Amino acid sequence: MKGGVYLDPEMPHLVRPRFALVRVRRSSRKRFPENCVEVVADAETALARALPAEDLHAAEVVGPSRSSEGFRLYYLVRWLAD
């Protein structure tokens, strides 16, 4: 575990910062299952495709990593827009 993120020893190159669209109601949650996250090429793409009214938010995340329960998760670094 490093900084609250379980690194997958089989795929260390996969756990890294990424820009994404996260489908979730914004709250204090800091981690999201992979089925709520769509990785995109860059911050501009994430911001252009975000639909906050439909709970689709642009963010910078780290992941995917394995949780202690075996799920693949993304961890929030920051929201790209308020």
Q: What is the pLDDT of residues 27-41, one digit of tens each?
A: 788 999 999 999 999
Taking residues 41-66, report their average pLDDT: 95
The model carries a pTM of 0.81
Confidence at residue 1, expressed as pLDDT on a 0 to 100 scale: 41
CB atoms inside a 10 Å sphere around CB 13: 6
Q: Where are the domains of the chain?
A: 16-79
Convert the pLDDT of each residue in 13-28 to its tens digit.
667 899 999 999 877 8
What spatial distance separates the first Cα and last Cα of the chain, rounded to whole Å?
Answer: 30
